[in-house]
Structure 1
Amino acid sequence: FRIQQMNIVGSSPVSWPSRVIQTLQAPPDVAPASVTVRTASETSLWVRWVPLPESEYNGNPESVGYRIRKWRLDGLGTPVTQIINDRLEREITIEGLEEWTDYVFQIQAFNAIGSGPWSNQVRGRTRESGTDAKNRIKEVNGKGQHE
């Protein structure tokens, strides 16, 4: 940086450039953007986000990663957090979910110093299995009709 003094009389010459100064590391200031959830199968959901730009790392790029937190919308079960240590990663398929169930997801960036804010909550629903869907159809006068 450079310094220049200014007052009512005028301004001084600009100083020589200072030496390079690096600020201390800090946790990321922003959450990953554009989080989306899509159905992948009866028991999995595909989560995608826009990774942090390098200017938002606030620390060593090698220490940047993401936490994906998910829980069932109905409150059953235990919330689970999964860690991704690759700062360039932008998607993950979450497996082992319940069929035809709504889930809520949030993503958070972190670095060696700490964690940034969580993203907005995003919902997704797993597919209904073919067997369950067939069981919900009953015969009425020889024609299939949904209940």
Structure 2
Amino acid sequence: MSANVYRFNEYRDLSPVELFFWIALDQTKKQLGFADLAAVATWLLSMNDVPVSGKMKSATEGTSVMSLFFRRVIKTRAPMKLPTMTLMTLRTGKLLYTKSLGAFVGRLVPVADVVFMGYDATCIMYRTVKRYNAMVKQEDRLGE
């Protein structure tokens, strides 16, 4: 570990690890906003925690508030089966198919949320490392 010490905002005598931590928090604060809050909220609403009866034994137990909502609001049927993903299908590697546009949208929103949150996490880490490397001595830089 480096003996170098750094300063960030009001924090002084920071080790390289502590400096990286405070920069990461600062970048997270800058990146996250209302869209991220909405993504987390809709992702939570997509959890299969609502019990339902009548599902086949091989089906994932329960359904989500989001799926119930979109199935009631969008009652249109597609002319062909549309591919969808859930957490279970990601584990098994198999897609689910449905003709219900409501079910399709209900399953699509959480996938989009995960992609959105992944993008934010990537941006935060990229900007954190870039800013950190610009502030520290050569021997404390990351990825060089």
TM superposition score normalised by structure 2:
0.23
More helix as a share of residues: 2
Max Rg structure? 1
More strand as a share of residues: 1
TM superposition score normalised by structure 1:
0.23
